């Protein structure tokens, strides 16, 4: 039986107790110059971007991309992975895996920019950041908390909206996260992408990633990447849809990891009153940024 995680804080940012317990190790992680970091607020399109990047790195070879699950292909910096040698269920830091991995590595993180291990900046690593509009991000996060027992209990939908607005959720405030990374892109090698753009015009966004990674593919390969990173294909891909591992903690019958993959699903969740309150609060929290999101296409 897996218990829901307790939380702690690092510099005011809510993280799981487990992450807090290995924080020194996370902070001192040694990045390499050719590491690529994929950074997101949780549920903003991480897995989608990971699969896209891997398809690019493997030059569109689907079989190569299915060599391992997405969690094994790209270590999740601050997280834990099931220890296959242990019964009952136990976990070990993913970092152990990352450290043993040959270069070039692609690493996933949900850390806000100020908590990214300094070695990534020292090594001038490239980072792809993906942001998703707050309302869809919140809806996706709520359903993920319901199905993933490694996360704290979300409470009711109403309660979860409140937690999200106050930033008392894992990886902290969505508002600070997207704004912090937006600012950082002027100082570091960061490609800042939006989930909504990826949905509207995947080919165009893949082209941006190609350019950023200084890679080139022909039109046939590009078409293949667009096809294989579509929601419909990824939903059925066991190497990308999280059905191959974390079975003790993720219950896809409550809500699948690949849930809807849409822009605007928030409309099916927010009441008129909730929406009004959220918008008013949003305006205040986002008044100090030039960052603009689309909540529908």
Catalogue the active-site residues. 110
Residue pair 171/15 in contact (Cβ under 8 Å)? The answer is yes
Of 225, 188, 224, the residue nearest 206 (C-alpha): 225
DSSP state of 58: T
Residues of the chain by 3-state class (helix, strand, coil), percent to 5: 45, 10, 45
Pair of tokens at residue 119: 């070695």
Residues 226, 230, 231: CA angle, nearest 5 degrees: 170
Taking the complex as a whole, the smallest distance from the CB of residue 121 to ligand PPS amounts, in Å, to 23
Q: How far is the CB of 136 from ligand PPS (least distance, A)?
A: 6
Neighbours of 90 (CB within 10 A): 12
Q: Which two tokens stand for residue 191?
A: 């490609």
> Would you say 192 or 231 has its CB closer to ligand PPS?
231
Least Å from the CB of residue 87 to ligand PPS? 25
Q: How far is the CB of 140 from ligand PPS (least distance, A)?
A: 3
- Cis, bond preceding 104 (omega within 30 deg of 0): yes
Report d(CA 31, CA 98) in Å as an integer: 10
The residue among 57 and 283 lying less far from ligand PPS, judged by its C-beta, is 57
Nearer to ligand PPS, 10 or 138 (CB): 138
Residues that bind ligand PPS (CB under 6 A): 40, 42-48, 136, 140, 143, 229-231, 234, 258-261, 265
| 257/282 with CB nearer ligand PPS | 257
* Nearest-approach distance from CB 135 to ligand PPS, in angstroms: 11
C-beta closer to ligand PPS: residue 46 or 106: 46
């Amino acid at each position: 039986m897996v218990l829901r995680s307790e939380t702690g804080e690092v510099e005011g940012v809510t993280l799981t107790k487990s992450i807090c317990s290995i924080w020194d190790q996370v902070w001192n992680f040694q990045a390499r110059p050719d590491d690529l970091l994929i950074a997101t607020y949780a549920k903003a399109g991480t897995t989608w971007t990971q699969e896209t990047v891997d398809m690019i790195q493997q030059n569109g070879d689907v079989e190569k991309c299915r060599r391992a699950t997405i969690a094994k292909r790209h270590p999740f910096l601050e997280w834990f992975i099931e220890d296959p040698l242990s019964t009952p269920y136990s976990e070990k830091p993913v970092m152990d895996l990352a450290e043993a991995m040959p270069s070039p590595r692609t690493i996933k993180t949900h850390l806000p920019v100020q908590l990214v291990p300094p070695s990534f900046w020292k090594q001038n690593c490239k980072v792809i950041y993906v942001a998703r509009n707050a309302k869809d991000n919140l809806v996706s996060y709520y359903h993920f908390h319901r199905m993933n027992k490694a996360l704290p209990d979300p409470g009711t939908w109403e309660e979860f909206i409140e937690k999200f607005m106050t930033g008392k959720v894992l990886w902290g405030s969505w508002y600070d996260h997207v704004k912090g990374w937006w600012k950082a892109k002027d100082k570091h090698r960061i490609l800042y992408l939006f989930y909504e753009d990826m949905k509207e015009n995947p080919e165009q966004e893949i082209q941006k990633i190609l350019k950023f990674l200084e890679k080139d593919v022909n039109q046939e390969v590009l078409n293949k990447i667009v096809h294989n990173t579509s929601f419909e294909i990824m939903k059925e891909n066991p190497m990308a849809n999280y059905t191959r591992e974390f079975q003790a903690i993720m219950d896809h019958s409550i809500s699948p990891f690949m849930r809807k993959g849409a822009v605007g699903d928030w409309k099916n969740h927010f009441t008129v009153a909730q929406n009004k309150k959220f918008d008013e609060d949003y305006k205040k929290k986002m008044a100090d940024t030039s960052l603009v999101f689309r909540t529908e296409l």
